Amino acid sequence: MIIDHPLLGPCDAQEFTYKGDACLIDRPEGLGDGAEAAFHDYAYLRDNPAGLHRELWFHEQGDRSWLVVTRNTLTHEIVGVELARDVARSRGRGR
Amino acid sequence: MHDLAPLTPLGAPAPHCDDIGPLRIAETPDRALASVSARLGQEAACKTALGALIGADAPDIARYTGGTPLNSFWIGPHSWMLEAPYAGHSDLAARAKARLGDCASVTDQSDAWARFDLTGEGIARVMERLCNLDLAAMAAGTARRSVVAHIGCHVIGHDSAHATLYGPRSSAQSLHQALIMAAKSVF
């Protein structure tokens, strides 16, 4: 499997490690109201789509950047790759 | 004070060198290294300050910039490695930190890495047995981190007849053995 890195171009998936669903970016506020329930859902609840899935990949044996890879779980086709940093900032995260 | 004698990453008093066919694989221990990572919100300031430090533009993505005597290569987003002859630059990290100030975190990387220089013909044919990177297609002055024989390494392609590998010092002998085996299978 080849992941088209936004900075470096096509890289072998061997260089990456897989983290999980990209919804892990949306970590709940730890001190807010309902934090316990929010963290339960954050830690345990995942969608399991047959089709497009956004997931976090880490370029461990490369430039150490985190990527959000949109992959079709039925065909393994990769239809989009973004820097996780850009995705997080587009959702209002400051760091 | 103990009178300690320095050893190279391969464990000998003097650097090791192998000539296999037209290719020379040379251990090059006399380099000081320091990594530079921009702090949050200081990315542009760090790049400017790094450029002033090395006397050239800070290397762009996957690029190596040779200066005199400070070299630098890109290792990740807003991160670079500084490289200089160890003689005269044993305090490279401290000097870089003094110049870069609060816009970057600087870490001394000397002795963390084993450096091997490949010179001569057939570098791409040897590396294609070991590494995902296509050195034959890589532009001169490209610096990438990848896996060489299952070992995470920085690979710098200076030109078709010279490449530099930085691998973890603790895996120096494994990396060296892999290079020798691959070279012998080619030549």
Instruction: Say what the alpha-carbon torsion angle A30, A31, A36, A39 is, to the nearest 10 degrees.
Output: -10
Which residue range forms the structural domain that includes residue B43?
31-108
Instruction: Give me the tens of pLDDT residue by residue for chain B, a chain 187 residues long.
Output: 788 888 999 999 999 999 999 999 999 999 999 999 999 999 999 999 999 999 999 999 999 999 888 999 999 999 999 999 999 999 999 999 999 999 999 999 999 999 999 999 999 999 999 999 999 999 999 999 999 999 999 999 999 999 999 999 999 999 999 999 999 999 9
Q: What is the ipTM of this complex?
A: 0.87
Q: What's the pLDDT at A29?
A: 86
- Co-location of B117 and B181 in the same domain: yes
Task: Give the whole-number percent of chain A exceeding pLDDT 90.
Answer: 84
B74 near B16, Cβ under 8 Å? no
CA angle, B99 then B102 then B105, to 5°? 85
Q: What's the pLDDT at A32?
A: 83
Decide if B72 is inside a domain.
Answer: yes
Domain boundary among B61, B78, B108: B108
Put simply, the chain A residues between 14 and 73 with a CB less than 8 A from any chain B CB are: 14-15, 60-65
- Co-location of B103 and B35 in the same domain: yes
- Co-location of B82 and B148 in the same domain: no
- Co-location of B145 and B167 in the same domain: yes
Decide if B6 is inside a domain.
Answer: no
- Co-location of B121 and B143 in the same domain: yes
Check B152 against A61: CB less than 8 A apart. Answer: yes
Calpha distance B144→B141 (Å, rounded): 10
DSSP E strand stretches across A1-95: 2-5, 9-12, 17-21, 52-58, 66-72, 78-83
Q: Which residues of A touch B146 (CB under 8 A)?
A: 15, 61-62
- Co-location of B119 and B171 in the same domain: yes
- Co-location of B119 and B158 in the same domain: yes
Decide if B153 is inside a domain.
Answer: yes
Decide if B47 is inside a domain.
Answer: yes
Average pLDDT over residues A76-83: 95
Task: Domain count for chain B, please give it.
Answer: 2
How far apart, in Å, do the first and last CA atoms of chain B sit? Answer: 48
- Co-location of B102 and B141 in the same domain: no
pTM, entire model: 0.91
List the CATH number of the domain containing B156.
3.30.1360.120
Domain boundary among B108, B126, B142: B108
Domain boundary among B85, B108, B131: B108
Check A62 against B144: CB less than 8 A apart. Answer: yes
- Co-location of B87 and B126 in the same domain: no
| In the predicted structure, residue A95 carries a pLDDT above the cut 80 | no
Decide if B44 is inside a domain.
Answer: yes
**A94 or B174: which carries more pLDDT confidence?**
B174
Decide if B42 is inside a domain.
Answer: yes
Domain ranges of chain A: 2-90
- A91/B contact by beta carbon, under 8 A: no
- Co-location of B129 and B99 in the same domain: no
List the CATH number of the domain containing B84.
3.30.70.1520
User: How far away is chain B from the Cα of A31, in angstroms, using its nearest Cα?
Assistant: 24
- What is the layout of strands, in order, in the sheet containing B113-120? B17-20, B23-27, B113-120, B162-168, B151-159, B142-148
How far apart, in Å, do the first and last CA atoms of chain A sit? Answer: 30
A50 near A65, Cβ under 8 Å? no
Check B76 against A64: CB less than 8 A apart. Answer: yes
pLDDT tens-digit readout, A2-27: 999 999 999 999 999 999 999 999 98
**A76 or A32: which carries more pLDDT confidence?**
A76
| In the predicted structure, residue A94 carries a pLDDT above the cut 90 | no
Decide if B46 is inside a domain.
Answer: yes
Q: What's the pLDDT at A31?
A: 87
CATH of domain A2-90: 3.30.2270.10
Cross-strand bridge partners of residue B19:
B24
- Co-location of B49 and B66 in the same domain: yes
- A6/B contact by beta carbon, under 8 A: no
